[in-house]
Amino acid sequence: MRKVFCTALALTAGLINGNAPAFAGNFDTRIPMRIGKAATFYVNGRVADLAHTEFMVDTGSSITTINQPTLDQLIEKGMANYDRDLSGTLADGSTLTVPVYRVVSLDIGGCVLKDVEAAVFATNRQILGLSALNRTAPFIFSVDPPELVLSNCVGPEIAEAR
């Protein structure tokens, strides 16, 4: 089967230089992606212990985003703390300032990340951006088959024990 890699992001200095050794924790978690409209890709996930949700995978987004209803539930349960405001320039050139919260955990298809930064937007779409994906580096974004291949993951049972 022909594999086409849309983006293979190696976000460590050694991999960028092309001389990094392979480690046991590299590329150990494969997460299927669903293809949406306009060549968008989605993965199943979970923010803290809330209901399962879907994240649009966006390697061009510097930060992971959650929506306001998700934040409201997290604050009610004491699972998110305000960190700072973030201003950025959108694709259309406009500037937007949004609050950034630290979320206790993010589960991406069984790969659990603790203490994740997430910007809050009013939209319903939640985005898996580089603030979370960097922590799974090196990772591969594959379009054929559509999947994320992550490194350095721990499963939910190990994350709960920590």
In a domain, 108, yes or no: yes
Task: CATH number of the domain at 105, please.
Answer: 2.40.70.10
Residue-averaged pLDDT of the chain: 84
What band does 102 get if pLDDT is binned at 50, 70 and 90?
A: very high
Q: Is the pLDDT of residue 21 over 70?
A: no
For residue 1, give the amino acid letter. M
Domain hosting residue 39, numbered range: 7-17+28-161
**Structural domains in the chain (count):** 1
Which residues, other chains included, contact 18 with Cβ-Cβ below 8 Å and sequence gap of 6+? none
Q: Is the pLDDT of residue 6 over 60?
A: no
What is the pLDDT, as a whole number, of residue 27? Answer: 86
In a domain, 122, yes or no: yes
Sign of the four-CA dihedral 54, 152, 77, 128: negative
β-bridge partners, 114: 105
In a domain, 40, yes or no: yes
What is the pLDDT, as a whole number, of residue 39? Answer: 87
Q: Which two tokens stand for residue 52?
A: 């399962």
In a domain, 123, yes or no: yes
Which residues, other chains included, contact 60 with Cβ-Cβ below 8 Å and sequence gap of 6+? none
Q: Is the whole-model pTM more than 0.75?
A: yes
What is the pLDDT, as a whole number, of residue 25? Answer: 63
β-bridge partners, 59: none
